[in-house]
Amino acid sequence: MKRLLVAFGLAICTFLSIVWFQVRIANASLPATQVHPLPPTLERWQDPSASGDYFSEIKPSKIGYLIWSEFPIAVYVQRPGMPVWASASARRFQQWVDAVLPAIQEWNPYLPMVVVDRPEKADIAIWRSRPPLQVTPAGPYARAALVSYEIYQKRSSKRPGGILSHKYTMFISPDLSWPYIQAAARHELGHALGIWGHSRVETDALYFSQVRNPPAISPRDINTLKRIYQQPTQLGWPIASGSR
């Protein structure tokens, strides 16, 4: 059985940039690029305010748009290693968990997610950890949150070659205060659900910079998400069996 790690990406949510690290596409028998049916949760979504979107800011990866086609999406959230009554650090850890979980619930009406108890089962794993320092010309810069993905060959009982799939690892710093933990989780989950770009409007959850009063998910965020899920991708389609 050959592993198939074809690509890897990293969103850095400071100021303008999403930086892409693309590793070689290792296999010639990747699925063709196709459009999945629109998830019913997004099909139902209508924006009465017609507030537009920022789809033009979204960049597809080399394998197309990074969208999910199997629901619910499994999300793991790291938990304290000891009971909350045992120590102050466990209580702080639990406060972090309690700030992250609502962000999952906020996106849930648009794309169904389920919280799982083990990271191995997760499509998106969220860790309470400081992201690595970012080196800039001005010196090292502490990031609040970071999300990265990898592409892999998911086993399938129906498809001998498996399904081209993706999974995410997310770090959200323990140093943030409560509203910012939730805002960071909301923002990074937006990336993990497929919004690989940033809004230039301060009232969108995917605004490129941290703001004093973090915005909720906006109609523009969902309008953008809905357009993304109508785009083609190689993800979620079977890999030809017999590929070497």
Q: Which positions touch Zn ion (CB under 5 A)?
A: 13
Q: What is the CB neighbour count within 10 angstroms for residue 16? A: 9
Tokens 């083990």 belong to residue: 118
35 φ/ψ angles, rounded to the nearest 5 degrees: -100, 130
Residue 223 C-beta: closest distance to Zn ion, Å = 18
Tell me the closest approach of the beta carbon of residue 137 to Zn ion, in angstroms.
21
Please, what is the minimum distance in Å from the beta carbon of residue 168 to Zn ion? 13
Name the residue whose CB lies closest to Zn ion: 13
User: Per DSSP, which regions of 45-108 are E strands?
Assistant: 73-77
Q: Which is nearer to Zn ion, 11 or 113 (CB)?
A: 11
CB of 120 to Zn ion, least distance (A): 26
Give the residue with the Cβ less far from Zn ion, 30 or 205: 205
Of 37, 38, 26, give the one whose Cα is nearest residue 63: 26
To the nearest whole angstrom, how small is the minimum distance from the Cβ of residue 159 to Zn ion? 33
Cis amide leading into 40 (omega within 30): no
- In the numeric block, the tokens 């499509």 are attached to 123
Instruction: Using the Cα atoms of residue 46, residue 198, residue 173 and residue 214 in order, give the sign of their dihedral.
Output: negative
Cβ proximity to Zn ion, 116 vs 144, nearer residue: 144
Nearest residue (CB) to Zn ion, 21 versus 85 = 21
Angle (CA) 134 93 150, round 5°: 45
Distance in angstroms between the alpha carbons of the first and the last residue of the chain: 9
Comparing CB distances to Zn ion, the nearer of 13 and 193 is 13
